[in-house]
Structures are given as C-alpha cells and as structure tokens.
C-alpha cells in the first residue's frame, strides 16, 4: 500500500505519530524502540506500517536513549523529534507529536511496542474514518485493552486499542485533556459518543509489550 489517503478521509491527509520515548524499564532491555523484531529495531516496523498504510508523513517521538535509537534505527524517511520530558509519561510525547504534525492533518497515534501492527490495519482505520470522529482499532479478547468492551459481528467481546485516528477538528480538544501517562484516554472516556471502533482482530491481537512475559510477541 502506498502513502496516499484512506477512502473515508476526503482531501484531508493524515500524519502518523509513533510514541517511542519509553525506557522499557520493566523489560530491562533498554528503550522499547530498539527491541529486536524480525532482525531490525521495532520502531522501524511500526513507523513503516503507518507510512506504508497511508499516512503521508510519520513523526517518531523519541526520548529514552534517543541518540542510540537515532543512530541504530533507520528512520531517515520520517521526522524524528526528542521528548526531553519523556519521564513524565506518554502524554508529553503525544503532545509533542501533535505539535509537530501539520496542523491541517488528522493524527494517527501508534505505540512503538505493538509489533503486530501492519499497513493493512492502518489502511483499514484510515478508510473507516469519518469527519469529526475518533477512529480506534479494536481487538478480540482485550489484551490490548484501553477502553470499555464492545462486541464484534459474531457477538464476541472487543477491546479498544491502538492505533487511533484523531480527527483534525478534535486535535486541540484532545490535547487539552492529555496528562501524565494517560495520553488520549481521558478524552475518549468523557466522549465515547465520538469514538468509532474498527474490528482489526483478523489482522493481529493488538497486544503491546509491557512485561517480560509478553516478549514472545517479538517472535
């Protein structure tokens, strides 16, 4: 897939933001961005999924070990920014990514520790997005759970996860609610009526790597 537009996005384009500033302290393997995935640093795979799936530009927000990540990972086709306040939590990285992205674009937010993310998932979300809405990937079973459960077509339980598309008209409102490590969660909790969940369970589990027990996701 190329870096064009999703069918549901009209003329407005989308900038992808990879939140890649975490130190991975609980994993004890250095910055999550440098976790090995298919022979390369994980951050490369996630950024490529956003770009190849349809985002016109990708902003990679680095933090812990930024110099090492920038020198080891091949990120030349993306915009790299460094969050000097990465220890304050994911929220500061989201705010920096939002401030860096073109103000006229929708924002697609992805986590660097989600190895199952593919261009197909990104393309599906872009195609499903509707004006004035937040479009979020959802997955069976909920290992990637960040929000309330919903149901899929077969009646199974879904849990909201990442990536998510924040409409250009909502970016300022979302940013105003971001604090600490919560990211956009506060806005989504207060405004569930604005959120469209897209079942992506057929493409991946949506799990991210938070504990040593989840390192198996790297393959």
Which domains, and CATH codes, for the chain? 12-218 (3.90.550.10)
**Whole-model pTM?**
0.88
Give pLDDT tens digits along the chain (219 positions).
Answer: 445 444 444 578 999 999 999 887 777 677 899 999 999 999 999 999 999 999 999 999 999 999 999 999 999 999 999 999 999 989 999 999 999 999 999 999 999 999 989 999 999 999 999 999 999 999 996 444 444 445 444 445 799 999 999 999 999 999 999 988 878 989 999 999 999 999 999 999 999 888 888 888 887
Planar angle of CA 52, 56, 62, nearest 5 degrees:
80
Q: What is the DSSP string of 166-208?
A: E-GGGHHHHHHH--TT-TTHHHHHH-GGGEEEEE-TTT-----
């Amino acid at each position: 897939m190329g870096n064009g537009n999703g069918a549901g996005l009209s003329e407005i384009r989308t900038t992808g933001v990879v939140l890649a500033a975490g130190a991975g302290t609980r994993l004890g393997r250095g910055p999550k961005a440098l976790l090995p995935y298919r022979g390369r640093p994980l951050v490369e795979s996630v950024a490529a999924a956003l770009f190849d799936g349809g985002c016109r530009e990708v902003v990679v927000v680095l933090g812990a070990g930024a110099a090492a990540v920038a020198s080891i990972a091949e990120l030349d086709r993306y915009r790299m920014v460094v969050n000097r306040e990465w220890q304050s939590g994911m929220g500061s990285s989201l705010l920096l990514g939002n401030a860096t992205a073109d103000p006229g674009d929708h924002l697609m937010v992805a986590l660097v520790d989600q190895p199952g993310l593919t261009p197909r998932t990104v393309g599906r979300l872009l195609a499903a997005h509707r004006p004035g809405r937040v479009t979020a990937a959802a997955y069976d079973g909920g290992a990637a759970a960040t929000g309330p459960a919903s149901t899929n077509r077969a009646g199974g339980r879904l849990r909201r996860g990442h990536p998510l598309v924040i409409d250009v008209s909502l970016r300022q409102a979302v940013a105003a609610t971001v604090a600490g490590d919560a990211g956009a969660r506060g806005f989504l909790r207060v405004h569930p009526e604005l959120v469209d969940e897209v079942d992506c369970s057929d493409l991946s589990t949506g799990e991210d790597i938070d504990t040593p027990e989840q390192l198996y996701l790297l393959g």
